[in-house]
Amino acid sequence: MAGAAPLIDIRKLCVGFRGRAGAMLPVLHEVDLTVHPGESIGIVGESGSGKSTLALAAMGYLKHGLQKMSGEVIYDGADMFERSDRDLSRIRGGQLGLIPQNSGQALTPTMRIGRQIREALHLHCDLPEAEYSRRAQELLAQVRLPDPGVMLRRYPHELSGGQQQRVAVAMALAGEPDALLLDEPTTGLDVTTQAHILDLLRDLAASRNMAMVYVSHDLGVIARVCDRVQVLYAGETVLDGPVRAVLRNPAHPYAHGLLASIPRLGEATLPRALDGRPPGPAEARQGCAFAPRCPLATGDCRAARPPMIDGPEEQITRCLYPDHVAGLEADTKRTEPQPCPPDSPEALSLFGVSIRYDQRGPIDRLRRAPRPPATVDGIDLQLARGETLGLVGESGSGKSTILKSIAGLLPPSAGAITLGDGTPLPRSVERRRPDQLRRIQMIFQNPDDSLNPRQSVAEILAQPLRLYFGLKDDALRDRAAGLLEVVRLGADYLDRRPGQLSGGERQRVAVARAFAAGPEIVLCDEITSALDVSVQAAVLDLLNDLKAEHGTGFVFVSHDLTVVRALSDRIAVLYQGRICEIGPAGAVYGTPSHPYTAVLLGAVLTPDPDHAPRLMAEDAAELSPPARGCPFQNRCPVKRGPICDTETPPLRDAGDGHGIRCHIELDDLRRIARR
Amino acid sequence: MRAGRSLRRGARGVETLRAMLGRLSGVIGLTLVALHLALALISPWIVPYEYTSMDSAQTLAGPSAAHWLGTDHLGRDVLTRVLLGGREALLVTGTATPVALVWGGGLGVYLGLKGGWRDEVAMRLVDAVLALPGILPLLVLITVFGTGGEVLMPTLAFFFGIPVIRVARAAAHEVVARDFISAARARGHSPLSIVRRELLPNVTDTLLVEGAMRWSWMLLAFSALSFLGFGVSPPKPDWGLMVSDARIYMSLAPWGVIAPVIALSTLIIGINLTADALAKTLGLDHSRKAVI
Amino acid sequence: MTALIIRRLALGLVTIWLVSVIIFLGVEALPGDACTAILARDAFGEALARCREVMDLNTPALIRYVEWAGGILRGDLGVSAGGQERISELVGYRMRNSLLLAAGALAVGIPLSLLAGVIAGLWRDRWPDIVLSVGAIFAMTIPEFVAATILILIFAIWLGWVPAIVLTPADAPPLAFFPEFILAATVLTMLMIAHVMRMVRASVIEVMAGDYVQMATLKGVPYWRMVFRHALPNALLPAINVIALTIAWLLGGVVVVEVVFNYPGIGRLLVDAISDRDLPVVQAITMIVALTYIGVNLAADLLSLMLNPRLRSHQARRT
């Protein structure tokens, strides 16, 4: 393969934008990328690494404001940036297909699916007029969409996220491309949907001998679909090599650190954080861009930018000491999460909590319309002091709803919530006493949204301190500075505003604000999902330390099964607002397990080229829970029969507080798992 | 700490002003507005004549050394009247705009936060009043209460506050949906403290830009009313009134029309450019907002 | 979908009812009544009593409101102050003339403003945009009467192409207005273009920066085809509502323009009625304008509901 002429050849590409001062600020520094026919290459990096820019540049396209500074993008013998508009129109969507990150926004909202696919066919295939519709339908069938004929007449917003992504794949296939460029095509999708789409892409690429350039921040995804991987850091290629070598034995310390920061499903350990942050486009750099964060860095690294050199196992690395990277292994032993002390007293209990979003109007009541089933129903949960309870499930599972209900922001329609001493907690936040409020604090998903942009960090931290402790002036400021120390930010952050902080720093401020109250229970709502993995690892590490120091209990909500695993003592698996399975983390992720848990675990990807996900259930999106029976009845791969549709399954006790709600006997569940 | 905070707040104002002056529209706009305000303040002491003094020998005279911009049909000095002609308009609209902004903005934020039936009822009423476009509602009230600054000021403040309700409500809605409000609610802050600390600082930018736009529209309405004869009463000088009076003699003495037209237009353009620069500096795009 | 339309219509009716109450009360609440207003504040004695008799002011306000509103429903706008003229007759031809003026301005203004907005949006920050945007700021900020006066100065007085002022009676055939009509319509068109253009420009810029426009380009759709098929249908949808607002604004702005050109429409009638303190006429005209405004906005809402698939099902799901 190496001898054949490359399909796409990007040479020393520099792309940048004009900064406020007028100088060009580069986002890509002399990046090389060669793609051979049929080859599948992963481009991996964290946000701001320039990976999407690189993929779009392969099509001769740059986002508004970006300019090519130097280098070339050779496709089919000519530079894409020198081609005529006519040429570009022929190649884009024809020989080179793009699958965008968010198809919900990338499909034209005013055009039916059929018209958009036929348009692509018209542009790139010469078919008799009558054939276009048939061919469009065929393409939808190829991407495994149900009822292709019906789909053609739908508008994009009428489809689920996974379906929209499949439509985008079908559209990219319309021109029979030589290469597909994929820009984070599964980010934001549920794990099961992601696994299905990746499976589809692998099959398509293999059967059509298409090359793929797959951009992702997720090494697990890359491991699943790519032969070769290129690691970008702050706009530079730092490592390029076969996927197996890069994942197993990376020859660059950044790649090594990145891998160590990924939580693993099989290990109950905390990932290692990478300290520091990559240089921005405006920052002057001398020498290796990674040197300030690198444990191996020497004076030579800081003096001049290292060249790309050959490393072990066919890797090419921008590191002067590729052979030392493996040695880092020894001191990167992952820390064990702080366990919950046994016989810890109870801190919080939920009994039969139901939550309804829908408000029936007077007309519905007049028409006697049947009341839709509650969004969240029958939740029983206990949290001990110093314990971390993970709530995990796909989008729409009601996990965040439950948190809001505990916080009093969304009063439950039935059931009770009590604090540790058994006193029932008033349902809405307005009725709760200051002391009750203080004991429960919440951290939100996105710190951009949960920190008031018009307040300084000092003012943000002052809110709870003034409210709960009546602190003033110097005492207030000292305490705020102390809190920043706790979350490993300095007192010099006090006068900054959220806009001047990085994503990880902002989330630390949010954590500090929650701990300002000296809470017993902290509710964490997807608090790491807006962060890069290396930053996520740091936040998880911080939470673990706080748990050890303060004996705080956490309710930790996430869609990411590995993150929940890394931190939780106990885990509850939710589907459509109902608990399927609950128990100690090890037991829930082991056997026997609820069929839904098994489906979820099967779909998890790990950065291991030999690991293949197991696809068991359809990834059909369900909008509302069924009125009766088991919530998972429509997607269950091992459904027992009509009883699943009518009867609520019993909670089967698997010992040690491990319960499974299923009509299937525990022994049978064990047997199914072994198959 | 308190002093520190107000210092920072002041610093933000200076920063915004500096950023506005970095734009061409900001430079021109602020210069025009400042010039007009300065002239309105000092004009009584610098005008060459009394605004009522008539020179019957020189009616509709062209520009001369004695009368730089000529005279009108009663032989009054046009320059004098143009210099003085913006005072009433600036006084009335300059008072009515902040009043409109405060009552409309306050009510809008309250409704946006509160929601429920109050919101529903209030918005229907707002819709109903807004169904009377342009200067129509002003005209109706003038029919009822008569003309003059003491009527126009509250009338303008009332009617121009109504669209502000809508804008403020929408802005409040946007902020209320954000998590930092949920966070404050979950901590148990009082509604008043949430409004003051979390909500208001995040809608003031929108209201500021809105206020600047409203001011220019109010000036347009005021001058239109004056032109129609329902604003400033003669013989007080006012640009709208001057255009209306001089219009009939336009073929004989065009400067009588042109001078107040230029004065009025530069002021309104100045305010508009300022609003534009302010919106761009604060990162708000007001050009999509409705006309009304 | 039908439920949604019914909801909108019901809201429109509620607004109309509220407007009628506001207008009626607005006039009712004043110190004194319609007769003291006409006969000057210090009127007393027999003249006042006779006037009140004629105008039926001795009946309770609620009954008069019901009669007034009922009359409007039947197309009867009542009688003018002093009871000399039927308002329906007074309004008839003038309404036609005003609509003619608005229609003329719209017929030219809508296509031109859309075109200007699209051009400014597509050539953002380049010379076509700068020229158009600066022009729009000027057109928007110059008061109607100023623009009208300038046009008269140039075209009627200096160039002498058209007469400066309309002297045609209100009930003349439409074509008789043509020469004067041109300048009046030009003023309205200019202002309208300025407003609509700015909105369309912003909308085009927003859409052109969107993901689906990038996607269309990257699937090989040629530029102009992408603009017409993918970008404009989405960018122009919000224009429907903006144009509706502009129409409403035209109805208000028309007052001044009609006065400047002495054009016999309802705007001029309104100003005359205000000068005469003829409250019933003011009430009637205000109500007519409000009805038109609500009707036009309702039509725009329903139209955009029908044209925008996303809005359609999004709203349907919410209600």
Query: Tens digits of per-residue pLDDT, C24-35?
Result: 887 766 555 556
Assess B178–A contact: CB distance below 8 Å, yes or no. Answer: yes
In angstroms, the Cα distances linking C18 to B279, C30, C68 are 34, 18, 14
Residues A168-175 have a mean pLDDT of: 91
Q: Please list every residue in chain B whose beta carbon sits closer than 8 Å to the beta carbon of residue C134.
A: none
3-state secondary structure chain B: CHHHHHHHHHHHHHHHHHHHHCCHHHHHHHHHHHHHHHHHHHHHHHCCCCCCCCCCCCCCCCCCCCCCCCECCCCCEHHHHHHHCCHHHHHHHHHHHHHHHHHHHHHHHHHHHHCHHHHHHHHHHHHHHHCCCCCHHHHHHHHHHCCCHHHHHHHHHHHHHHHHHHHHHHHHHHHHCCHHHHHHHHHCCCHHHHHHHHHHHHHHHHHHHHHHHHHHHHHHHHHHHHHHCCCCCCCCCCHHHHHHHHHHHCCCCCHHHHHHHHHHHHHHHHHHHHHHHHHHHCCCCHHHCCCC
pLDDT tens sequence across C118-177: 999 999 888 999 899 888 888 887 888 888 888 888 888 788 787 766 667 767 776 666
Q: What is the CA radius of gyration of chain A?
A: 26
Residues C225-252 have a mean pLDDT of: 85
Instruction: Please enumerate in sequence order all residues whose Cβ is within 8 A of that of C70, keeping only pairs 6 or more positions apart, or say none.
Output: none
Instruction: Provide the pLDDT for residue A332.
Output: 52
Instruction: Provide the pLDDT for residue C51.
Output: 67
Helix axes A533-550, A253-260, angle to 10 degrees: 50
pLDDT tens sequence across B56-86: 777 767 777 777 777 777 777 878 888 888 8
Assess B183–A contact: CB distance below 8 Å, yes or no. Answer: yes
Contact B182 A444 (CB under 8 A): yes
Instruction: Provide the pLDDT for residue B6.
Output: 43
Instruction: Provide the pLDDT for residue A331.
Output: 53
Q: What's the half-sphere exposure (Cβ side, CA atoms, 13 Å) at C302?
A: 16
Which residues of C fall below an 8 Å CB-CB distance to A?
Answer: 209-212, 214-223, 229-230, 233-234, 237, 308-310, 313-314
A658 with A584: CB under 8 angstroms? yes
Instruction: Provide the pLDDT for residue C252.
Output: 65
B103 with B168: CB under 8 angstroms? no
Rounded to an integer, what distance in angstroms lies between the CA atom of residue A14 and that of residue A31?
7
Q: Which of B178-192, C274-288, C297-311 has the highest mean pLDDT?
A: B178-192
User: Residue C198's closest chain B neighbor by CA?
Assistant: B287
In angstroms, the Cα distances linking A92 to A87, C35, C210, C218 are 9, 77, 18, 5
Whether the predicted pLDDT of A594 surpasses 70? yes
Per-residue pLDDT band at A406 (split at 50, 70, 90): very high
For residue A25, what are the β-bridge partners?
Answer: A17
Per-residue pLDDT band at A284 (split at 50, 70, 90): confident
Whether the predicted pLDDT of C315 surpasses 50? no
Higher pLDDT, A464 or C152: A464
User: Residue C36's closest chain B neighbor by CA?
Assistant: B144
Joined together, the tokens standing for residue B76 give 């009054």
Instruction: Provide the pLDDT for residue C312.
Output: 63
Q: Classify A442 as helix, strand or coil.
A: strand
Instruction: Provide the pLDDT for residue C113.
Output: 92
Rounded to an integer, what distance in angstroms lies between the CA atom of residue B22 and that of residue A327?
54
Q: Please list every residue in chain C whose beta carbon sits closer than 8 Å to the beta carbon of residue B123.
A: none
The reported pTM is: 0.85
Residues C194-214 have a mean pLDDT of: 90
- Sole residue written with tokens 């032109």: B227
Q: Classify A96 as helix, strand or coil.
A: strand
Per-residue pLDDT band at C241 (split at 50, 70, 90): confident
Assess A97–C contact: CB distance below 8 Å, yes or no. Answer: yes
Rounded to an integer, what distance in angstroms lies between the CA atom of residue C189 and that of residue C209?
30
Instruction: Provide the pLDDT for residue B16.
Output: 83
Whether the predicted pLDDT of C80 surpasses 80? no
User: Residue B202's closest chain A neighbor by CA?
Assistant: A454
pLDDT tens sequence across C242-255: 888 888 777 766 78
Assess A305–B contact: CB distance below 8 Å, yes or no. Answer: no
Of B133, B143, B264, the CB nearest to C279: B143
Assess C286–B contact: CB distance below 8 Å, yes or no. Answer: yes
Joined together, the tokens standing for residue A157 give 């917003």
Terminal alpha carbon distance of chain C: 10
Contact A107 C215 (CB under 8 A): yes
Whether the predicted pLDDT of B290 surpasses 50? no
Contact C218 A98 (CB under 8 A): yes
Joined together, the tokens standing for residue A400 give 């965040």
Higher pLDDT, A341 or C15: C15
pLDDT tens sequence across A239-259: 999 999 999 999 999 999 999
Q: Please list every residue in chain B whose beta carbon sits closer than 8 Å to the beta carbon of residue C242.
A: 290-291
- Sole residue written with tokens 């934020």: B109
Q: Please list every residue in chain A whose beta carbon sits closer than 8 Å to the beta carbon of residue B183.
A: 442, 444, 450, 513
Rounded to an integer, what distance in angstroms lies between the CA atom of residue A406 and that of residue A401?
9
**Predicted ipTM of the assembly:** 0.85
Whether the predicted pLDDT of A161 surpasses 50? yes
B271 with B211: CB under 8 angstroms? no
In one-letter notation, the amino acid at residue C131 is V
pLDDT tens sequence across B101-128: 999 999 999 898 887 888 888 888 888 8
Dihedral angle computed from the Cα positions of residues B85, B91, B92 and B94, in that order, rounded to the nearest 10 degrees: 120
User: Residue A456's closest chain B neighbor by CA?
Assistant: B5
User: Residue B253's closest chain C neighbor by CA?
Assistant: C153
Contact A454 B187 (CB under 8 A): no
Assess B197–A contact: CB distance below 8 Å, yes or no. Answer: yes
Joined together, the tokens standing for residue B154 give 């509250």
- Residue A504 sits at the vertex; the CA angle it makes with A500 and A506, to the nearest 5 degrees, is 50
Order of all β-strands in the sheet with A414-419: A376-384, A346-355, A414-419
Q: What's the half-sphere exposure (Cβ side, CA atoms, 13 Å) at C151?
A: 26
Q: Name the residue among A190, A199, A187, A118 with its Cα closest to residue A160.
A: A190
- The beta-strand segments (E) located in A290-345 are 309-310, 316-317
Instruction: Please enumerate in sequence order all residues whose Cβ is within 8 A of that of A667, keeping only pairs 6 or more positions apart, or say none.
Output: A592
pLDDT tens sequence across B20-39: 888 888 899 999 999 999 98
Q: Name the residue among A561, A285, A520 with its Cα closest to residue A399.
A: A561
Give the count of beta carbons closer than 10 Å to the beta carbon of residue B156. Answer: 26
Give the count of beta carbons closer than 10 Å to the beta carbon of residue A235. Answer: 28
- The C-alpha of C219 sits at a distance from chain B's nearest C-alpha, in angstroms, of 30
- Sole residue written with tokens 């920190």: A451
Q: Name the residue among C97, C41, C27, C62 with its Cα closest to residue C284.
A: C27
In angstroms, the Cα distances linking C294 to A70, B28, B117, C11, C18 are 58, 39, 22, 10, 12
Q: Please list every residue in chain B whose beta carbon sits closer than 8 Å to the beta carbon of residue C140.
A: 272
In one-letter notation, the amino acid at residue A261 is S
Q: Name the residue among A199, A116, A183 with its Cα closest to residue A155.
A: A116
Q: Please list every residue in chain A whose beta carbon sits closer than 8 Å to the beta carbon of residue C233.
A: 110-111
Higher pLDDT, A421 or C78: A421
Assess B5–A contact: CB distance below 8 Å, yes or no. Answer: yes
What's A372's DSSP letter?
Answer: P
**What subunits make at least 3 CB pairs under 8 angstroms with A?**
B, C
For residue A70, what are the β-bridge partners?
Answer: A14
> What share of chain B has pLDDT > 70, as a percent?
93
Higher pLDDT, C192 or B67: C192
Contact A452 B185 (CB under 8 A): no
Whether the CA torsion C110, C114, C120, C121 is positive or negative: it is positive
Rounded to an integer, what distance in angstroms lies between the CA atom of residue A37 and that of residue A95?
12
**What subunits make at least 3 CB pairs under 8 angstroms with B?**
A, C
Instruction: Please enumerate in sequence order all residues whose Cβ is within 8 A of that of A335, keeping only pairs 6 or more positions apart, or say none.
Output: A269, A270, A272, A541, A544
Instruction: Provide the pLDDT for residue B2.
Output: 40
Joined together, the tokens standing for residue C185 give 């319509």
C221 with C185: CB under 8 angstroms? no
> What share of chain A has pLDDT > 90, as a percent?
46
Q: What is the CA radius of gyration of chain B?
A: 22
Of B185, B197, B201, the CB nearest to A409: B185
Residues A377-401 have a mean pLDDT of: 91
Instruction: Please enumerate in sequence order all residues whose Cβ is within 8 A of that of A483, keeping only pairs 6 or more positions apart, or say none.
Output: A461, A512, A513, A515, A516
The string of DSSP letters for A104-126 reads HHHS-TTS-HHHHHHHHHHHH--
Rounded to an integer, what distance in angstroms lies between the CA atom of residue A373 and that of residue A578?
11
Mutate to test the interface with A, among C206, C215, C225, C229 (most CBs of A within 10 A): C215
φ, ψ for residue A111 (rounded to 5)? -115, 140
Of C149, C199, C259, the CB nearest to B288: C199
Mean pLDDT score of chain A, rounded to an integer? Answer: 88
In angstroms, the Cα distances linking C134 to B140, B276, B292, C91 are 34, 12, 21, 39
Contact C217 A61 (CB under 8 A): yes
Joined together, the tokens standing for residue C38 give 């006409």
Contact B132 C286 (CB under 8 A): yes
In one-letter notation, the amino acid at residue A183 is D
- The C-alpha of C209 sits at a distance from chain A's nearest C-alpha, in angstroms, of 8
Contact A110 C308 (CB under 8 A): yes
Contact A92 C214 (CB under 8 A): no
Instruction: Provide the pLDDT for residue C37.
Output: 59
Instruction: Provide the pLDDT for residue C97.
Output: 85
Helix axes B200-228, B239-246, angle to 10 degrees: 30
Whether the predicted pLDDT of A407 surpasses 50? yes
Joined together, the tokens standing for residue A491 give 């007192």
Contact B179 A446 (CB under 8 A): yes
- The C-alpha of A67 sits at a distance from chain C's nearest C-alpha, in angstroms, of 16
Per-residue pLDDT band at B1 (split at 50, 70, 90): very low
Interface of A with B in 381-440 (CB under 8 A): 404, 407-409, 429, 432, 434, 437, 440
Q: Name the residue among C200, C197, C205, C199 with its Cα closest to residue C135.
A: C197
Contact A92 C218 (CB under 8 A): yes
Q: Name the residue among A319, A410, A314 with its Cα closest to residue A356.
A: A410
Assess A102–C contact: CB distance below 8 Å, yes or no. Answer: yes
Helix then strand then coil, % of chain C, to nearest 5: 80, 0, 20
Residues C40-47 have a mean pLDDT of: 58
Of B179, B184, B201, the CB nearest to A463: B184
Terminal alpha carbon distance of chain B: 43
